[in-house]
Structure 1
Amino acid sequence: MSHTAHIPSHRKPRQRASKSALRAGVAGGVLSTIAVAGAAGPAQAEPVTQTIEMPTITSGFATAVAASAQATQQVALDLETQADEDAAAEKAAKTAKKAHAEAVRKAEAKKKAEAAAKAKAEAEAEERAERASRTSERTTLSASSGSSDSGSSASAPSSSSSNVSGSAASIVAFAKAQVGDAYVSGGTGPNAWDCSGLTQAAYRTAGIDLPRVSQSQSTFGTQVSLDNLQPGDILYWGSAGSAYHVAIYVGGGQFVGAQNSSTGTVQRSLDYDRPTGAVRVL
């Protein structure tokens, strides 16, 4: 065996016959062109124009592309429709929730209004009943006072003490009948009083017109000691002529007065709030 038998060849592998023939043809053409150009001299060479044919798109491929585009468009339309439906559903849910909340609010408002109306009706009915009771009581007291005065006049027409006693009873009865009424600054009745408004109205039942304010009422009459009080006497707090509160002594160590907005018109013991002095008008 030769010593070069295992040495690999450095030659490139043979190319295909078609490529070799193509190259041979191209080379031959180029040499022929050069030879012709040399023989012709310096004549102007014309440009070589080469036309490249593009592959023709078959009708089947075009149909597939059109179908794909149509499918893509349909998917987009479906997604858009789904988005619109979702938005509509969300809007409907919000509207329903809002309507429900509004219905609940109206129901609660109606319930509160009905409760308030019921409470108001009950309060008005109670007030009417109370007024009717007071009116009946005042009518009875007035009739009783009138009968007492008539009887006293018949038996002793010249007796001034009997007249005073009857007037005092009327004043006391009127004052007691107002217990429970509200206190309102400047109130003169029939169901709300301030202190001097109540005493003025009570004395009016006896035909006596007192001054309107407590300062003047505290000097309208004869000053008497708190140890010598009689029913119907006017009690005052503060000094005579500058009193800030008045009430009516009803006997038994008690008085009736329109005290303040917290208590209203009350009947209390003298020890509850000891007055400064008293005046006797009758």
Structure 2
Amino acid sequence: MSHTAHIPSHRKPRQRASKSALRAGVAGGVLSTIAVAGAAGPAQAEPVTQTIEMPTITSDFSTAVAASAQATQQVALDLETQADEDAAAEKAAKTAKKAHAEAVRKAEAKKKAEAAAKAKAEAEAEERAERASRTSERTTLSASVGSSDSGSSASAPAPSSSNVSGSAASIVAFAKAQVGDAYVPGGTGPNSWDCSGLVQAAYRTAGIDLPRVSQSQSTFGTQVSLDNLQPGDILYWGSAGSAYHVAIYVGGGEFVGAQNSNTGTVQRSLDYDRPTGAVRVL
């Protein structure tokens, strides 16, 4: 075989440049298209519309709803009315109770006022009677003391036991004339006394000035036994010098004293309230 003879090759023939360029262009275009599509993002899904069937409101249903609402409103109105009636009834009951209590209070006050007025009228009547009695007694005793003093002066000008008895009688008469007067702490007359104020005023009628308080009066004079008392002696309760009460012995086992605010000035037996001691000033 000639060295220049053509031997077929087993390799594929080379493609022409133009065909290769065409393929490359097509491939590039496809890739570009894919790239642009990827950049644009996924495709938007179309909206899905779903139709829901609503129940049809009939006229009967509307009427029932309206009736129910009206019934509810009526119940509310009834409850409100009942509440108002209950409140009014409670208020009326309280008002009636208060009025009853006020009526009872006024009735009791009226009853007390009537009783007080009656007691006052009786006390005033009794006081007038006692004052009239005391005035009569005082006049009688004054006349008796005056006649006794006159007789003593005529028989013997010098002082005698008759003069002492006359002073005692004056003291006793004054003390008895104050029976029924009120007791007032610090009272010195003429119609209200405390114990020492009455004793001081009684002795002043005899021209004797006593100390004002019971403590001093219980040591003013000579201490005497309770078994040897004479009218006009000063009785005291408590210790001599610290006595808390005084009175005047009027004879017959009795004394006159301004006792307290409940009893006033009274005449009592020694056994009613036994004194501690006595002093004699006359």
Count of paired positions? 282
Measure how far apart 1:177 and its partner are. 2.4
Change (3 A) 1:15 1:258: farther
1:200-234, Cα deviation, whole Å (9 max, x unpaired): 11111111111111011111112222232211111
- Deviation per CA, 1:227-265, whole angstroms, max 9, x where unpaired? 322111111122222111111112222222222223332
Identity of aligned residues (%): 96
List gaps (5 residues or longer) in structure 2.
Answer: none
Give the TM-score of the pair, scaled to structure 2: 0.57
Q: Structure 1 pair 43/10, CA: closer, same or farther in 2 (3 Å)?
A: farther
C-alpha change, 1:193 and 1:84, in structure 2 (3 Å) is: closer
User: Is there any run of 5+ residues in structure 1 with no aligned partner, and where?
Assistant: none
Determine helix, strand or coil for the equivalent of 1:268.
strand
Name the larger-Rg structure.
2
Q: CA, structure 1 residues 244+27, in 2 after alignment: closer, same or farther (shift >3 Å)?
A: farther
1:138-188: CA deviation from partner (whole Å, max 9, x where unpaired): 222222212211111211221331110100111112222223333222122
Pair 1:94–1:127, CA change in 2 (3 A): same
Q: Distance in 1 between matches of 2:220 and 2:47?
A: 144
Pick which of 57-66 and 200-209 moved more.
57-66
User: Cα deviation per residue 1:37-77 (whole Å; 9 max; x = unaligned)?
Assistant: 99999999999999999999999999999999999999999
CA distance 1:115–1:46, shift in 2 (3 Å) = same
Counterpart Cα distance in 1 of 2:186 and 2:229? 28
CA distance in 1, matches of 2:165, 2:216: 24
Q: 1:29 to 1:182 in 2, by over 3 A?
A: farther
Q: What's the Cα RMSD here? A: 17.0
Alpha-carbon displacement from aligned partner over 1:11-48 (angstroms, at most 9, x marks no partner): 99999999999999999999999999999999999999
What is aligned with 1:272? 272
Cα 1:53–1:213 change in 2 (3 A) is closer
CA distance in 2, matches of 1:133, 1:144: 16
Equivalence for 1:223: 223
- The aligned residue for residue 17 of structure 2 is 17
SS of structure 2 residue aligned to 1:185 = coil
Query: What is the rounded CA distance, in whole Å, between the counterparts of 1:91 and 1:114 in structure 2?
Result: 34
CA distance in 2, matches of 1:90, 1:2: 146
- From the superposition, tell whether residues 276 and 124 of structure 1 become closer, same or farther in structure 2 (CA, over 3 Å): closer
Q: 1:126 to 1:273 in 2, by over 3 A?
A: closer
Flag the 1:21–1:231 CA change in 2: closer, same or farther, 3 A.
farther
Q: Aligned partners of 1:12, 1:123: CA distance in 2, in Å?
A: 165
The 10-residue stretch of structure 1 (2-11 or 93-102) with the greater mean CA deviation from structure 2: 2-11
Partner Cα separation in structure 1 for residue 232 and residue 260 of structure 2: 21
> Would you say the 8 A contact 2:130–2:180 is kept in 1?
no
State TM-score, norm by structure 1: 0.57
